[in-house]
Structure formats: structure tokens, C-alpha cells
Amino acid sequence: MGKADFLSPKAISNRIKSKGLQKLRWYCQMCQKQCRDENGFKCHCMSESHQRQLLLASENPTKFMDYFSDEFKSDFLELLSRRFGTKRVHNNIVYNEYISHREHVHMNSTQWETLTDFTKWLGREGLCKVDETPKGWYIQYIDRDPETIRRQEEQARKKKQDLDDEERTAKFIEEQVRRGRDGKETEETPVFTELKRESEEEKVFVSLYSSALGASALKAASTSVKRKDTSSDTRGEKKKKSALEEIIEMEEKKKKSVRTDYWLQPNIIVKVVTKKLGEKYHKKKAVVMEVRDKYGAVVRMIDSGDKLKLDQNHLETVIPAPGKRVLILNDQYRDTEALLEGIDEKNFSATLTLDSGQQKGKRVDVAYEDFSKLA
């Protein structure tokens, strides 16, 4: 009987049956062929192509088992990293999602007999963190990508730097409070006397002073009598800054440093870090032609001249050689051109000399991600 036509009911029925998963006992891993019933699997095993594959496998069975094991391991880890990241998840959940793909590699063709053996092997090889619980085995993917490790180190460094700044501020405030208290103790204790007026023409002024640090009690209460024939010698003395005034001045300076989560600027050179565009553009430099909606940019590749529209998460700044011109992209010196004097690899920063603005000629330390080379 001839083969049914493509649009015939039988052909359509066969295609519907072939979709989705079938029984594992009717699947031939060597030929990567799935049969729908026992008769079909029997016919396949008697076919010439299957016999030829068995002869090839019998010559070097270890080679085929290693190949299937590597395929199973790479596909399983790829799914684990892409679907669950570095989250802790039950191994059966990952395995059930993996075998839902019709063309997956079956475990019975690998070197591992059970999923538990495979999970223990991942833990011994250091590819995942594994632990056993009453509910079963749990796995957690270990991301060893150099780019991911670098970003984690930068985030940890920034977090530590912020904590150091907060600690320094707290210590400074504590020191000012201590100095203020020490100053109060050395002051003379005020002596209160009865208010007397020698004549009716004299004017009496009463002034009250509170503590600079907001103490609950008044610092002192004093009276002074202003006479027509005398003048104060203390008016010309320079008033010292109190601890509260110094704290307020420090906070105002700190407010001037305003950071934003967007940094793209036209006419700067950036590097493409995303792998989604392929090896043609990965790690290649480009010039920002136009900035759109603060977080997107139209760039022109330096090598090929191609124009791409990318998000700032797919780009990173470029650090030139010392002596080159750069543009500061963030913090209080934003939009200021500067010259690169030197690089501090230990602190992930560089020393720049401002080349524009009111503070031209000033030397400042700027982090790597806050400046980039000018086109």
C-alpha cells in the first residue's frame, strides 16, 4: 500500500501522534529515533541503518557513552543556569523540565544510572552546590563566568565603599559631638547677679543662648548693660564655627554629589559586552551617535561601521591610555572633559585633571564606570 498523501486524514493523524513525548522503551538513542508502538520499534531494530549504528558503537562503546554524557551534562546545566540562575531548586523539577523537550538525551544512554548519581557527580565536580533533605536532593548552580564574577566584585566594592563613607561620617559626627561637649566643660560657669539700673537713660538688653548640639537645658543666660560712653571690643572678633554648623556644611557638600542610574553621552567610545549579537560585535568598540530616553543609544561600530541600537546594560565604558581625553559621565563632575593622568588598579579608579568648567586644572579620582574615552 502506498504512502498516504500529505493532506490525507491518515497522514494528518500520524503527524498529530508524533508530536510530544512518546514512551522511552520505544526510543532508539543511537539512531535518535522515536517509535510510536512496539511493532514500529521492532521494525526499526531490524532495519539496516540501525544494525549499521550498532556495529559502529560496538567498535568503541566508551566513545559514544562519553559523547551522550557530555551532551546530557551540558544541556542540563544550560537549562539550570538559564531557567533558575543561582537559585536553590529540587533536582526533579529541573529534570522534568529537561525531558519535556522531545529531542533530549536520555539518561539511560549516559554513564549515570539515576538522577541521584548525576546530582552527586555535579557536587563532586564543583559544578553545583548539592544538599540532601528529607524531600530529596537540591542543587544550586555555581556561576563561574568571568564577566559575572567581575560584576559581583564591583558590586561588593561599591557596597563596602558606601559602608566606609557612612562609618567615616558617623565618626566625624561623634568627634564633633565630643569636641562640643569638651568645649562646654572648659567654659566658665556663669554667675547670675541681680539686675540693677544705675540711671533711667540706660538701656538693658537680655539675650539667651541655646546649646549648639540641641541640649535640653539652656547653655547660659546673661545680661549686658549698654552705656553711652562705652563700646564693645568683642564685636570685631571672628566667630568660630560650632559643631552643628560644621555638620550642616559637610551635609551640604555631600548633597552636591548627585549620582544617576544613567550615564550615556554622545561622542564617547564604548564597548559592546552582550553576547546576543554574536561574536561579530562582542567586545568590539563603538561610538555613541545618539542617546534615546536616557538609557538607550544608537552606536556606530568602529571596525565595520554598522549602526546598532543598544541599551546601556549592553555597553560599558572604555579606559584609554594615560594622556588621552575623557568625559566624566556621573557624579558632581558630570559632563566635564578631563585628561587621564594615571590608573589605580587596586581601587578601580583613575586620576583625572579637569580640562573644562569652573574647576579647570583640578585633579580628582574617578571610578572606572564614571568616565569614558572621547571619540
Residues 236-277: tens digit of each pLDDT? 444 566 777 777 777 666 555 577 888 999 999 999 998 888
CB atoms within 10 A of CB 273: 16
pLDDT score at 212: 42
C-alpha cell at 237: 572678633
Q: According to the model, what pLDDT value does residue 215 have?
A: 42
Say if residues 281 and 271 touch (Cβ distance below 8 Å): no
Q: Counting beta carbons within 10 angstroms of the beta carbon of residue 286, is it exposed (0 to 12), middle (13 to 18) or buried (19 or more)?
A: buried
- Asked which of 71-80, 194-203, 310-319 is least confident by mean pLDDT, the reply is 194-203
The residue that leads in pLDDT, 226 or 294, is: 294
pLDDT of residue 220: 43
pLDDT tens column, 312-351: 889 999 999 998 999 999 888 888 999 999 998 888 889 9
Any long-range contacts for 228-235 (C-beta under 8 Å, 24+ apart)?
228/201
Residues sharing a CB contact under 8 Å with residue 95, sequence separation 6 or more, in sequence order? 76, 115
pLDDT at 204: 57
Render pLDDT for 16-58 as a digit per residue (tens, 0 to 9): 666 655 666 667 767 767 777 777 778 888 888 777 777 777 7
Spatial separation of the C-alpha atoms in residues 273 and 285, rounded to whole Å: 9
What average pLDDT score do residues 72-78 get?
89
- Under 8 Å between Cβ of 315 and 329: no
The residues, any chain, with a CB within 8 Å of residue 325's CB and separated by 6 or more, are 337, 338, 339, 340, 355, 373, 374
The predicted-structure confidence for 277-314, as pLDDT tens digits, reads as follows: 888 888 899 999 999 888 899 999 998 888 888 998 89
pLDDT at residue 2 in the model? 56
Of 181 and 267, the structure prediction assigns the larger pLDDT to: 267
Alpha helices in the chain (DSSP H): 9-18, 38-45, 48-59, 61-79, 91-99, 115-124, 146-186, 243-256
How far is it, in rounded angstroms, from Cα 177 to Cα 185?
A: 13
* Sign of the torsion angle spanned by Cα atoms 25, 29, 31, 32: positive
pLDDT at 270: 94
Spell 249-272 as b/e; 16+ CB within 10 A means b.
Answer: eeeeeeeeeeeeeebbbeebbbbb
Q: How many CB atoms lie within 10 A of CB 121?
A: 16
pLDDT of residue 213: 41
Residue type, 322: P
Determine how many CB atoms are found less than 10 A away from the CB of residue 192: 10
pLDDT in tens, 110-158: 888 889 999 999 998 888 999 999 889 999 988 877 777 777 778 888 8
pLDDT at site 288 = 94
Amino acid at 15: R
Q: How confident is the model at residue 226 (pLDDT cuts 50, 70, 90)?
A: very low
What average pLDDT score do residues 357-375 get? 88
Q: Do the Cβ atoms of 80 and 139 come closer than 8 Å?
A: yes
Q: What is the pLDDT of residue 205?
A: 56
